[in-house]
Structure formats: structure tokens, C-alpha cells
Structure 1
Amino acid sequence: MLERISYYIKKYEGVLLYLIFGVLTTVINMVVYYILFASLLLPNLVSNAIAWLAAVAFAFITNKIWVFKSKSFELKIVIKELFAFITARLSTGILDMAIMYVGVDVLKRNSLYAKIFANVLVVILNYIFSKLFIFRKNKE
């Protein structure tokens, strides 16, 4: 039984780590958003943008080191990965902003529900971008 569990953990290690760090990234995004929007009373989109920046910084570091195990810290490679990562995250960040704007400002829905919905879509798309384009393993 333990062998089987160990086998699946090893087999799906990347996905499991992405889910763990994805949850942590989402928590950072939501906590920062909540503090700024509900406690400090900053505008919705300002709060969302700052929360997004904090989450992207955390996600790049954790994805590079632990999830996709990109070993190179050569400046040229890190800059290339960072540029691709930020570009991908900007596209999903725009989706996040659009969902938050429509959900909260236009439709007057609960900001927490809108944020959860946005984050589910964003996490899925970010994994696909990271796995296929940003931290892909080059087969030589």
C-alpha cells in the first residue's frame, strides 16, 4: 500500500507541488486582496492588481525552484523564464481583472465568490502555460 502511494506521489510530484504552491499563491492573492479592499478600503481593481503582483512574485520563485525544477540560475535563462512567466501571468491577470470588474463592479456580486471563480480559471491556465512554455524541459 505504501509502495503504491509512494509511486503515485513520485509520478505526479510536479502536479502535486503545483497544486500545493497554487493553493498558497491563491491564499496570498486573496489575503492581500482582502486586506487592501475590505480593511484598507482601497478600490477593487487597485486591491486586485497589488494582490496579483504579490502572488506572481511568490509563484515565479516556487514554480522555478520546486514545481518545474528549473535548475539554471544563469542570468540569461532566468530573465527569459521571468519574461515568459510575467507575459503568461499578465494574460491571466487580465482575465482575473475582467472577471473581478464584471463580477463586482458591473454585476454587484460578492467579491469573494468572484475572486474564487477567477482564481480557479487562472490556476488552470497558469499551469498549462508554465508546463508547456515557460519551464519546459528541453530534450537534447
Structure 2
Amino acid sequence: MAETNESAVLYQINLKNLIKALKSPSYLKRFINYNKHIVLYFVFGVLTTVVNLISFYIFAEILQIETIPATIWAWVVAVAFAFITNRLYVFESTAKTHAAILREAILFFIARLVTLGIEVFIMWLSV
């Protein structure tokens, strides 16, 4: 038990450990393995942002959709990407039936509706 607590302190996410991880490849590997889900959540969060930006560009600039609808469609694409990647790689969902997966998807989208409101409001202010 003491070893587990020691590992928890040794690899907890803080500035000191992040600097240590950047300086030592072997420590970085252990740090990432210990914090796998947090690292994956961060990586896929960044990728979701990229998907959102690219989707918005496609909808607004290439397809010439107005700003607010383009924002909404880009959000839908980004949240779908986030759901799939988080389900498969971050949270490692065990849901197998179509009904269980659909329930997860609906709850995931509902939980992110606030972000849609924020995005639409910001785009409305800026246009």
C-alpha cells in the first residue's frame, strides 16, 4: 500500500513533476503511463478543438454557411469526434448494445450543450 501512495505522489500532475518529465525520457514515459487517462483526455481535447476549427472553416468559408449555423454544425462534428475518441481511448467504455451506446452519446451531447451556448454567444458577439 505504501508503494501505491508513493507512486501517487511521485507521478501526480504538478509543475515540479512536469518539469522533471520534460528533462528525463524514462521519467516522462512512467509519468505518462501513470497519468494515461488525463494525458489522453488532454490530447483528444486539443484534437477536438482542431476538428472544431477545421469544421467551422469548411462550413463557413467553403460551403458559405452563415456564422451561427456554421458554428452549430462545427460543434456537432467536434462533439461527435470527442464522443468517439473519449469513448474508445479515454474512458474505455464497456457499453456494447446499441441502446447503451446511444444512451452514452445522448448524455455526452447533453453534458456539452453549455459549450454550444457559449460558442454561439461568442460568435454572435463577434459578428
TM-score range relative to shorter protein:
0.7 to 0.9
Q: Distance in 1 between matches of 2:63 and 2:98?
A: 38
Q: Number of aligned pairs?
A: 104
Matched, 1:19 2:19: no
Secondary structure in 2 matching 1:73:
coil
In structure 2, what residue type is equivalent to 1:26? T
1:69-123 CA distance string (max 9 Å, x none): 1122233432331121010122211111111111x22xxxxxxxxxxxxxxxxxx
> What percentage of residue pairs aligned between the two structures are identical?
35
Unaligned runs of 5+ in 2: 1-23
| Superposition RMSD in Å | 1.6
Q: Distance in 2 between matches of 1:5 and 1:48?
A: 37
Matched, 1:75 2:98: yes
Q: Distance in 2 between matches of 1:89 and 1:56?
A: 8
| Alignment correspondent of 1:129 | none
Q: Distance in 1 between matches of 2:32 and 2:116?
A: 30
Unaligned runs of 5+ in 1: 106-140
Q: 1:5 aligns with which of 14, 22, 28?
A: 28
CA contact (8 A) 1:65 1:71 kept: no
Matched, 1:50 2:60: no
Q: Distance in 2 between matches of 1:54 and 1:73?
A: 23
Structure 1 segments (4+ residues) deviating >4 Å: none
Secondary structure in 1 matching 2:96:
coil
TM-score (norm 1): 0.66
Q: CA deviation at 1:40?
A: 2.9
Structure of greater Rg = 2
